[in-house]
Chains A and B, each alone.
Chain A
Amino acid sequence: MAAPDLLWQCVKNQSCFIRKQKNFPVMTAEPGNLCGLNNFQFSGLASKKVLGLDSKKVGKKESIVLTTRSKRESRQYRPGVVLVTTGIKKGKKQGPEQLKKARFAR
């Protein structure tokens, strides 16, 4: 896979996910971007360390989903499987614990 820095240079100005507004930082809609900001740090496309937090609604049930990038070399070329989603527990203690782990695993 191409280097993250190189990919970022290709993608930072030219991506279908970029959303711009006046007097507002540039944002992106790509999956795996935690803040939605168009930064290398948070990039879900270019960065190897991907962290995304979303809510997913299936029927009536709404769950919190954490997105990370698989570290396996074989998965880097497989678009369907490269981003791994795990559920986050909604408990007061457990949820933030999981997030902390995920953050430091980045």
Chain B
Amino acid sequence: MATARPVVSIYNFENPSEKTGTMPMPVVLQSPLRPDLVREVHRDMAKNKRQAYAVKPKAGYDTAAASWCTGRAVARIPRAPGGGTHRAGQAAFGNQARGGGMFNPTTVWRRWHRRVNVTKKRHAVACALAASALPPLVMARGHKINQVAELPLVVSDGIQSLTKTKQAKETLKKLGCGEELQKVIDSKSIRAGQGKARNRRYVKRLGPLVIYNEDNGITRAMRNIPGVECAHVDRLNLLRLAPGGSFGRFVIFTEGAFKKLSDIYGTLKSGAPKKKGYTLPRAAMVNADLSRIINSTEVQSVLRPKMERYTHGIKRNALKSKELMEELNPGSTERKAVQQKASQKGTPEFDAVQKKKKARIEESKKYNKEHKKGDETFYKTLMKAFEAKAAADAAKKAAEKADDEEDEE
């Protein structure tokens, strides 16, 4: 967000319809939104409050069982020794045996806790705070904030001195949290699962988180209101800011706490005064509004013009569509029309064709007369040549025969 920081109104806790002042939004509340980071850090942080559970180390192995080996018509599993009791000779040790140990016994030395890098944790908290300042995200998380005047909701410091729960409840209702508080009350139900028998009988939704600077009674006033939680601004817990790993908790700040956020986290330039060596996270994209970027004059002015896309209409068959045939083969319709006409008697085209035909026949006759009748035809000339040669050969042969006869006499 490179634009000027928005200004947040502070509401009078006694009369929430009036504002007692304004404050610029701290830079923390404009941190980049990183749901993936918050989820990851929450996942690991949530593991840190676990208590170990395991089966007893000796569970299932506290017998002097030994296998009977082969030859006794029983399975080879270790069996309890001795006699005089049902237990004697019964299978022991294996996970399949009754009274045996479990497969892969749960151990106390399982890695229960996870360490998370301090910077990562701080980034996650900054991100979760930023999300709590955006109405769509708070709504998406499920909080009923339609009656709330403004987000982030900042209330004057007087609220920190409330001591009575009744007053606290009224103040919250006047601030617009009535719907939210009612949602929590309505959501109380018995837990599904064994937890109900393990002192975790009821579950209910979470309501607003009140972040204060000085506790002059506020925690005790708020603690019995179902759903409401309090947190000191110096000690913000991601598990409260992003319950279940989903950011966007409905947060109510007191004036002092809101001011202190700037003192703790500072700005991107200054770094965080109260957190050594820490600077607020920077967004990967300062302006993430893609549609605005794409439609901006800076971008649009250097784009090449949009390419014309050739869209193919329905494929047409030229043999069936006369228009398409004319497009592809110009003049074909005309030619076809002429051909058509030529077969109709009486039309000039017909006469033209007949005339041509006649002329052709005449030519042919003339040629035939010239070349195919008389003595000068191709065949006759060919045969003449043959005959001449044949006669010459015959004469030669006769002469030779006459010579031979002479020789014999």
Contact = CB atoms under 8 A, between A and B. Distances in A.
Given A78-B149, A78-B150, A80-B176, A5 B291 contact: yes
A91 B134 CA distance: 38
Contacts of A2: 1, 33, 134, 288
Output the residue of B134, B141, B288, B289 with the most chain A CB within 10 A: B134
A87 B133 CA distance: 30
Nearest to A28: B140
A7 interface: yes
Interface residues of B, number: 33
Contacts of B17: none
B133 A11 contact: no
A76 B151 CA distance: 9
| Size category, A interface | 20 to 34
A46 B290 CA distance: 13
A73 B176 CA distance: 21
Interface string B70-96: 000000000000000000000000000
Given A3-B287, A3-B290, A5-B290, A78 B140 contact: no
Contacts of B6: 73, 77
A53 interface: no
B135 interface: yes
B136 interface: yes
B142 interface: yes
Contacts of A77: 6, 8, 133, 135, 150-152
B126 to A, nearest CB: 14
Nearest to B135: A79
B288 A30 contact: no
Contacts of A78: 135, 149-151
Given A15-B140, A16-B140, A16-B142, A80 B35 contact: no
A30 B33 CA distance: 21
B291 A4 contact: yes
Contacts of B145: 79-80
B136 A46 contact: yes
A47 B133 CA distance: 17
Contact of B33 (A10, A16, A76, A80): A10
B148 interface: yes
Output the residue of A3, A4, A17, A80 with the most chain B CB within 10 A: A3
A23 interface: no
25 contacts: A1-B134, A2-B288, A3-B287, A3-B289, A4-B289, A5-B290, A9-B35, A10-B140, A10-B247, A11-B137, A14-B35, A14-B246, A16-B139, A16-B141, A16-B142, A17-B139, A30-B139, A30-B140, A77-B6, A77-B150, A79-B135, A79-B150, A80-B147, A80-B148, A82-B135
Interface of B: 1, 6, 8, 33, 35, 131, 133-142, 145-152, 176, 246-247, 287-292
